Structure 1
């Protein structure tokens, strides 16, 4: 499986340490997508296999992470997640960009190529 699950501690070491009002500084060595999801969410379940495919296809170029908003409420609050699924696209340079809702695989790949790579 190419998709990894993040908790607050993993986020702090792999993505960014933004808990004490710090500025955004991405810590990864490849661009990333973070899927904010809920286990009870139908659209999230529909998006999950698409993310798995994309994670496998681009495994040498990007990271794909998942955050369960019910288990990681602090992370969800930090990014003001109000609906799931929400996708955070994190390029190597610059600020992350948020996308909301299910994306078809073609749209997701376009976002990866245009925002991340």
Structure 2
């Protein structure tokens, strides 16, 4: 599964309708990663193939969206995007978290595993 290009309308439909709700409530059933980028941005271009790889690796567990900050300036302003890339990590439940700058694949995987999928650092269940 490839990354999914989003517009502001798509963001409202799939992630959060900021026009109707005051408090954050994610609409999706799978955790998501949103990449705020621009076509002219060098670090954004470096992150793009990493996101494609992650999209394939986590195809049934995670959605990866891309938002062009040049085309979606109002949405970018809403999230206070001042530098790109900025990555928004969205768990199914709970508050999203933002990370500015190009981060390596290992850092993406760590956040995905520990914060979005919560597969690490959970107490093991032992049968008694």
Shorter-chain TM-score tier: over 0.9
Partner of 1:52: 52
TM-score of the superposition, structure 1-length normalised?
Answer: 0.96
Q: Give, in whole Å, the separation in 1 of the partners of 2:99 and 2:66.
A: 14
Partner of 2:123: none
Cα displacement string for residues 22-75 of structure 1 (whole angstroms, at most 9, x for unaligned residues): 211100010000000010000000000000000110010000000000000011
Partner of 1:3: 3
1:38 matches 2:38: yes
Q: Any runs of at least 4 consecutive aligned residues in structure 1 with deviations exceeding 2 A, and if so which?
A: none
Query: Between Structure 1 and Structure 2, how many residues are aligned?
Result: 117
Partner of 1:14: 14
**CA deviation after TM superposition for structure 1 residue 21, in Å:** 5.5
TM-score of the superposition, structure 2-length normalised?
Answer: 0.88
Q: Give, in whole Å, the separation in 2 of the partners of 1:108 and 1:21.
A: 29
Between stretches 19-28 and 105-114, larger displacement belongs to 19-28
Partner of 1:95: 95
RMSD: 1.0
Give the gaps of 5 or more residues in structure 2: 118-128
Cα displacement string for residues 69-91 of structure 1 (whole angstroms, at most 9, x for unaligned residues): 00000110110000000000000
